[in-house]
Amino acid sequence: MIARLQYGTTAKVFHWLIVGLLVVQYLIGWLMPDIHRGQEPGAGMTAHISLGISILILIVLRFIWRLTHPVSLESTLQPWQRLSSALVHWTLYVLVLATTLSGWLFASFRGWTVSFFDLFPLPMLAADNAAAGKAIDGWHQVAEWTLLVFVGLHVLAALVHIFVYRDRVMQRMLPG
């Protein structure tokens, strides 16, 4: 498959849509009330789970799109920059997957019935299992914080390209 030189509109829409949804998702995650034993999910948790599963579907679609529409790296990059940017980009895909799946698994082990934005029931990944829930307690937080660290590195790299190297890397992900 021949790699394109630029990201197409679909890749850019996927990128910025997921960025926007992740911002909302972190805000809901931190603002929603803490959960207690035996508690059923309230409006905040229902929104968090519904949005999280939407992000999971979008990242899988985006990944498939990326594999079928390869884009070559910016030609001016040094070998270490090519390697580090590829590593960070693939890690971001993996971490979004890990964050969504760990959250979904945790919610499933609680035995919750959750509807997608109060529209239709969502399938759960496993049956009610308190011991398994305890075993994976904390995985979601680890995944969500690791994702935040890699997003921070990624945004820092984008800022360095804009203000220090002053090259066209940021331009590649902007409209037009």
Tell the smallest beta-carbon distance from residue 44 to ligand HEM (Å): 10
**62 near 17, Cβ under 8 Å?**
no
Among 58, 71, 126, 132, binds ligand HEM (CB under 6 A): 71
Among 151, 160, 165, 167, binds ligand HEM (CB under 6 A): 151
Residues whose CB falls within 8 Å of the CB of residue 3, separated by 6 or more in sequence, listed in order: 70, 71, 72
- Give first-to-last CA distance, the chain, whole Å: 24
Tell the smallest beta-carbon distance from residue 165 to ligand HEM (Å): 12
Kindly state whether residue 92 participates in binding ligand HEM, applying the rule CB under 6 A.
yes
Structure token pair of residue 65? 């799109």
Binding mask 31-70 for ligand HEM (x = CB under 6 A): ----x------------xx--xx-xx---------x----
CA distance 55 to 19: 10
Kindly state whether residue 74 participates in binding ligand HEM, applying the rule CB under 6 A.
yes
Kindly state whether residue 120 participates in binding ligand HEM, applying the rule CB under 6 A.
no
| 42 phi-psi bin (left φ>0, alpha ψ -120 to 50, beta other) | beta
Residues whose CB falls within 8 Å of the CB of residue 63, separated by 6 or more in sequence, listed in order: 93
Structure token pair of residue 78? 């040094």
Tell the smallest beta-carbon distance from residue 152 to ligand HEM (Å): 9
CA distance 100 to 158: 25
Residues that bind ligand HEM (CB under 6 A): 15, 18-19, 22, 25-26, 29-30, 35, 48-49, 52-53, 55-56, 66, 71, 74, 89, 92-93, 96, 99-100, 103-104, 106-107, 140-141, 144, 151, 154-155, 158, 169-170, 172-173
